[in-house]
Amino acid sequence: MKDSRLTPNKIEVDVALGQRVYDHVKERILEGDLEPKDNLSVVALAEQLSCSRVPVMEAMKRLETESLIDIIPQVGCRVSVPNAHDAMDFFALFARVEGVMARFAAERRTEEDLVMFKSVCDHIDSVAATAGGAESKDPSYRQLNLMFHRAIHEMARSPMTSDISISLWDRADFYIKAAFGSLYFSRRVKRAHKSISRAIIAGDAVKAEFEVNANLYAVGADVTKKLS
């Protein structure tokens, strides 16, 4: 008799459930109520999401590889506590990679790209104007920031470099949220977005790369200071 636990359908269901748990926990860490050191109950998550503990643990293992979760033997799972020195090193790298993407975008954008990019920037400004304050933990800010950088990546036309940079986005958001409690757009961030946008629209590759580097390096310095 075949073991039904090993059928393709069962495996597919477990994978789908694991993805759902993964998405749920990551969203709570990056946009919601979970903070560094908060404990995560595998049993509670399984009950909340109507699944077994297996997909929950698979999701925890994935999140651990991304340094968002610590799995402590004989203790349980908790949200990772970021290290200030690691944060500064990370943003030094992140700034360079995103800077390269901005340079590519300024060099390679077409007239059609610029129509799209200007529309995206206008939409971001409109939504940000009505989003919550710094203490609201409004998830809109994270989504708007991702929208801004995705638009730049599309104009850059460098899938390989884009994949590398995208793999760093969640880590950047984790550091910022851990340090400040939310991803609220400060006045400096808004000014930086304007400067980056103007440089790309003008086709000034050197300026676009510089503005992204300067902004993200400054963000890293602020995060490091807050975490120290």
The CATH class, in words, for 4-79 is mainly alpha
Is the confidence at residue 5, as pLDDT, over 60? no
What residues does each domain of the chain span?
4-79, 84-227
72: its two tokens: 């402590």
**b (16+ CB within 10 A) / e for 31-70:** beebebeeebebeebbeebebeeebbbbbbebbeeeebbb
CATH number of 84-227: 1.20.120.530
Local structure of residue 185 (DSSP, 8 states): -
Q: C-alpha angle 224/25/166, rounded to 5°?
A: 55
Question: How high does pLDDT run on average in the chain?
Answer: 93
Q: Residue type at 162? A: S
pLDDT band at residue 1 under the 50/70/90 scheme? very low
34: its two tokens: 């979970």
Run of H or E residues at 29: helix 8-31
How far is residue 179's CA from residue 84's CA, in Å, rounded to a whole number? 9
Tens digit of pLDDT for each residue in 147-156?
999 999 999 9
Tens digit of pLDDT for each residue in 22-68?
999 999 999 999 999 999 999 999 999 999 999 999 999 999 999 99
